[in-house]
Chain A
Amino acid sequence: GAVVSQHPSRVICKSGTSVKIECRSLDFQATTMFWYRQFPKQSLMLMATSNEGSKATYEQGVEKDKFLINHASLTLSTLTVTSAHPEDSSFYICSASEGPPSYNSPLHFGNGTRLTVT
């Protein structure tokens, strides 16, 4: 089946620094990738939709200057958390499908990145 690889799985950084998270589709081309954030015992909250070759679409309330998304190729999207603060500590998960999530191309998720900002 389709595999989405996310790196790193865990990162600890100091307040004020920036962190980059990579999301790769290993065996398919993903024109669209999605970035989610998950707090303990909470649902996955969509942060932004990343389209290859164009600007990401951010959900309401998500700061686009803080969470920079780059979808440079059909297999790679990156999320950079700029000037991270402790409140940015969370579990970030990317997902991708070959086309619109549907019967034939469901959304596949990476294994997430646990970000801890000290």
Chain B
Amino acid sequence: EDQVTQSPEALRLQEGESSSLNCSYTVSGLRGLFWYRQDPGKGPEFLFTLYSAGEEKEKERLKATLTKKESFLHITAPKPEDSATYLCAVQAQGGSEKLVFGKGTKLTVNP
């Protein structure tokens, strides 16, 4: 069964304090790994897709990396507006289009 585990569950940072979020996964052949940002009471907002080990994607203060067993979302010099829950999801090979999500990491950035 495909599984996604995110850690930590919650993370508090001071503005400017860089850190990383972890997404460990087990999947029967990875087709894609997705990162989303979710604000309270809203639907997830797409951030990145990664497809193969060694791949990296960047967007503003965020950088996502991928290995064969996990992905990291690095946040450099975060700002309070980066506060949100970050969700990781995997899509397995084999025809099904569904995404399996982790529980997310709730990030709070204090000014």
Structural contact, B44 and A109, CB atoms closer than 8 A: yes
A43 contact from B32, B91, B103, Cβ within 8 A: B103
Pick the contact of A106: B9, B34, B98, B103 (CB < 8 A).
Answer: B34
CB within 8 A of B43: which of A6, A46, A101, A102? A6
> What number of A-B contacts does a CB cutoff of 8 Å give?
62
Q: Does B65 contact A (CB under 8 A)?
A: no
Min CB distance, A25 to chain B, in Å?
Answer: 13
Assuming the contacts A43-B102, A106-B46, asked whether A101 and B91 have C-beta atoms less than 8 A apart, the reply is yes
Q: Check: B59 CB closer than 8 A to any chain A CB.
A: no
A105 to B76, CA, bound (A): 27
How large, as a class, is the contact surface on chain B? 20 to 34
Asked whether B99 is an interface residue with its Cβ less than 8 Å from the other chain, the reply is yes
Contact between chains at B42 and A101 (CB < 8 Å) = no
Asked if B32 contacts A46 (CB within 8 A), the reply is: no
CB distance from B38 to the nearest CB of A (A): 8
Q: A106-B46, A107-B46 are in contact. Are A43 and B97 (CB under 8 A)?
A: no
Q: A43-B101, A101-B91 are in contact. List 14 more A-B contacts (CB 8 A).
A: A4-B43, A41-B103, A43-B103, A46-B99, A93-B44, A100-B97, A106-B46, A107-B34, A107-B46, A109-B36, A109-B46, A110-B43, A112-B43, A114-B41
